[in-house]
Amino acid sequence: MYLSRIQLNPRSKQARRDLSDPYQMHSSLCRAFSPPENPCPRSEFLWRLEPETGPDQSPYILMQSRSLPDWSAVSSNGWLLKQDPPIDLKQRLKLDSLEPGGKFRFRLRANPSIKRNGKRIGLFRREEQEAWLMRMAKLHGFSLPLIPCGDFYQQTMEKPAVSVAQEQMLTGKQHKGNVIRVYSALFDGVLMVREPSLFTAALQNGVGHGKVMGLGMLSVIPVP
């Protein structure tokens, strides 16, 4: 599994188109793994548009993939501004020797939601978003540290030590022309590994829904 970071050219017409439509972005990223005439390899990669930008406001895309991407197919038209050297996550995170209790800083842009009457509904209240993340953590082999909260007037409670920001409604057009709107939120915090096999699978396969739209990628950095 590899981590890659690329910088897009904000002056590129194609890059601006992709930044406005997650489905178009996913299609462009697919070209790093397969030629345009072939279907994109299923579950090959996860990606995320980062909130941080370069000095000239150029956007960063972070990607986790099963194989190394080849950017030559998209670097010739001005779409790609810069690519950083890829990182071997299996080696850097020591995934083969991962044990319960390991701590990592994490970032996750996801679609906190529930299914009701056959429809997926976004969760907008902070308490609901935190509860959703706690459920995902349990499902994917990790836990979130709890911190006390409250004041002189409210009973002291515990909540996950996670920040939730950059809430956005993503809009994209599928190949069939259907317009899809998906609510997303950006989670940043610290996690602890409970079940290494489930946690490793979450890194590779993502968390939650909307992965084609740049959601679900759990990126982590070890905490010393």
How far apart, in Å, are the Cα atoms of 2 and each of 35, 45, 61, 204?
A: 20, 9, 14, 10
| Annotated domain spans of the chain | 2-91, 94-222
Residue 87's pLDDT is 98
Domain covering 94-222: architecture: 2-Layer Sandwich (3.30)
Residue 46's pLDDT is 98
Residue 33's pLDDT is 92
CA 29 to CA 26: how far, in whole Å?
Answer: 5
Q: For the domain bounded by 2-91, which CATH number is listed?
A: 3.30.70.1200
Strand partners of residue 191: 104
Averaged in consecutive runs of 10 residues, what is the pLDDT profile of the chain (224 residues)?
Answer: 96 94 94 86 93 91 96 85 96 95 97 90 92 97 88 74 88 79 94 98 96 96 92
CA dihedral (211, 214, 218, 220) in degrees, to 10, reads 160
Residue 146 neighbours by CB under 8 Å, 6+ apart: 158, 159, 160, 161
| 94-222 matches 2-91 in CATH topology | yes
Instruction: For residue 158, give the 3-state DSSP assignment.
Output: strand
